[in-house]
């Protein structure tokens, strides 16, 4: 299968490398890492075993041409680049899979391509890009795959099989929207509080920085769970997201909060992606990860005071 990876940071590089090692024709669309990957390939460091692959490298979509499968690992802050990056890669039979965080990504793709070509994948994985073309895989890796606004098709099962054959656990969901909210149950507290913790728990509670307030050190996932006050806030945010999903008619189980916390304890001192972006001074994925869930919760009439306070504070802290 000819596969194009658009967005070759930690996420795209990791899954692209897995598929490349499994024998597929994988093309990486690269910018800053082009020379490093062209010369040395991609190195994956993982507790499951280190490996190196040599994907085909391109600096423009036209150099790749039409693909059978397009995997999108871009930050959602780059979604305005879809019209330039994707059409040269997408033919009438191309499957377009967004692996991005948050809400609204499939809708953005549907403005360019037919709904029946669009899928979403939710990635539950701990990754860090430690150098150009070098990815550290820390824990997990599972993908939940689903069709946008449709029931799973035979193609969905075929793609899940392809991903599993590459060594990545993959399951198919019959409700991609519910799956998005199930991941938001993790993303909202750990991505959000990872950044907001630099302002302190009082600032998170009131939803604002004090005049002239200096920021402290941000907390990793293990630090958030090691402090009872922060852990209580993590769980409270999780349950607000779950109740918002219920208000939208989505059957997200209450027990998911504790399951996410248990999985997170195995990650060690992990920095969620929003915290990494914050520390690098890069734009934060606020609309997809925080503001859109808040908007939908308010539209459904579900009170989410902690989420609202978190959104207000993150907007003030964003670079």
Collapsed DSSP state (helix, strand, coil) of residue 97: strand
Are residue 211 and residue 142 in the same domain, yes or no?
no
Let me know if 170 is exposed, middle or buried by CB neighbors in 10 A (0-12, 13-18, 19+): buried
Are residue 166 and residue 190 in the same domain, yes or no?
no
pLDDT value for 259: 96
pLDDT value for 309: 98
pLDDT value for 225: 98
Interatomic CA distance for residues 284 and 75, integer angstroms: 9
pLDDT value for 122: 96
Are residue 233 and residue 156 in the same domain, yes or no?
no
Q: How many CB atoms lie within 10 A of CB 115?
A: 13
pLDDT value for 151: 94
Are residue 119 and residue 32 in the same domain, yes or no?
yes
Helix (H) or strand (E) holding 181: helix 176-196
pLDDT value for 107: 97
Are residue 157 and residue 198 in the same domain, yes or no?
no
CB 243 within 8 A of CB 181: no
pLDDT value for 190: 98
Identify which of 68, 61, 53, 71 has the alpha carbon closest to the alpha carbon of residue 5. 71
Helix (H) or strand (E) holding 256: helix 256-265
Integer angstrom CA distances of residue 16 from 54, 100, 255? 10, 14, 33
Are residue 8 and residue 98 in the same domain, yes or no?
yes
Domains in the chain, number: 2
Among the candidates 128, 156, 174, a domain finishes at 174
Interatomic CA distance for residues 289 and 191, integer angstroms: 9
Are residue 82 and residue 231 in the same domain, yes or no?
no
Are residue 14 and residue 106 in the same domain, yes or no?
yes
Among the candidates 141, 174, 207, a domain finishes at 174
Query: Can you tell me which residue has the tokens 């990957």?
Result: 37
CB 199 within 8 A of CB 192: no
Identify which of 241, 229, 287, 289 has the alpha carbon closest to the alpha carbon of residue 80. 287
pLDDT digits (tens, 9 = 90+) for 121-132: 999 999 999 999
Among the candidates 131, 157, 174, a domain finishes at 174
Let me know if 204 is exposed, middle or buried by CB neighbors in 10 A (0-12, 13-18, 19+): buried
4: left (phi over 0), alpha (psi -120 to 50) or beta: beta
* Catalytic residue from among 2, 183, 251, 271: 183
Are residue 124 and residue 197 in the same domain, yes or no?
no
pLDDT value for 234: 98
Are residue 134 and residue 209 in the same domain, yes or no?
no
Give the structural domain span for 312: 179-317
Integer angstrom CA distances of residue 218 from 32, 187, 201, 223, 224? 27, 16, 11, 9, 10
pLDDT value for 315: 98
Half-sphere exposure of 143 (CA within 13 A, CB side): 29
Integer angstrom CA distances of residue 238 from 127, 141, 275, 293, 311? 22, 21, 18, 12, 14
259 is catalytic: no
CATH number of residue 135's parent domain? 3.40.50.720
CATH number of residue 223's parent domain? 1.10.1040.10
Interatomic CA distance for residues 93 and 61, integer angstroms: 17
Interatomic CA distance for residues 177 and 182, integer angstroms: 9
Read off the DSSP letter of residue 72. E
Are residue 157 and residue 202 in the same domain, yes or no?
no
pLDDT value for 6: 98
Are residue 208 and residue 301 in the same domain, yes or no?
yes
Interatomic CA distance for residues 262 and 271, integer angstroms: 17
Collapsed DSSP state (helix, strand, coil) of residue 55: coil
pLDDT digits (tens, 9 = 90+) for 207-254: 999 999 999 999 999 999 999 999 999 999 999 999 999 999 999 999
Q: Do the strands 51-53 and 42-45 form a parallel or antiparallel pair, or are they unpaired?
A: antiparallel
**CB contact set of 276 (below 8 Å; sequence gap of 6+):** 128
Which parts of the chain have pLDDT scores under 50?
Answer: none
């Amino acid at each position: 299968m000819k596969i194009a990876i658009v967005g070759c940071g930690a996420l795209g590089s990791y899954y692209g490398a897995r598929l490349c090692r499994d024998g597929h024709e994988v093309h990486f669309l690269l910018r800053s890492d082009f020379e490093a990957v062209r010369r040395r390939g991609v190195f994956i460091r993982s507790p499951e075993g280190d490996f190196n692959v040599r994907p085909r490298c391109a600096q423009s979509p036209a150099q790749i041409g039409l693909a059978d499968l397009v995997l999108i690992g871009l930050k959602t802050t780059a979604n305005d680049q879809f019209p330039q990056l994707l059409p040269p890669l997408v033919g009438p039979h191309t499957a377009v899979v967004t692996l991005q965080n948050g809400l609204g990504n499939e809708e953005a793709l549907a403005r360019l391509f037919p709904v029946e070509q669009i899928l979403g994948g939710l990635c539950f994985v701990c990754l860090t890009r430690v150098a150009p073309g070098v990815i550290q895989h820390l824990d997990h890796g599972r993908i939940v795959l689903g069709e946008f606004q449709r029931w799973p098709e035979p193609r969905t099962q075929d793609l899940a099989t392809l991903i599993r054959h590459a060594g990545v656990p993959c399951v198919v969901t019959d409700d991609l929207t519910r799956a998005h909210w199930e991941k938001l149950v993790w993303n909202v507290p750990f991505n959000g509080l990872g950044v907001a913790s630099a302002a302190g728990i009082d600032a998170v509670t009131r939803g604002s920085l004090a005049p002239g307030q200096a920021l402290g050190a941000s907390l990793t996932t293990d630090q958030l769970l090691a402090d009872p006050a922060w852990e209580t806030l993590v769980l409270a945010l999780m349950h607000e997201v779950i109740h918002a999903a219920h208000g939208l008619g989505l059957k997200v189980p209450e027990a998911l909060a504790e399951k996410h916390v248990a999985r997170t304890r195995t990650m060690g001192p992990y920095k969620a992606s929003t915290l990494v972006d914050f520390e690098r001074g890069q734009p934060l994925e606020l609309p997809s990860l925080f503001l859109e869930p808040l908007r939908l919760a308010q539209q459904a009439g579900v009170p989410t005071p902690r989420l609202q306070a978190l959104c207000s504070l993150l907007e003030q802290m964003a670079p």
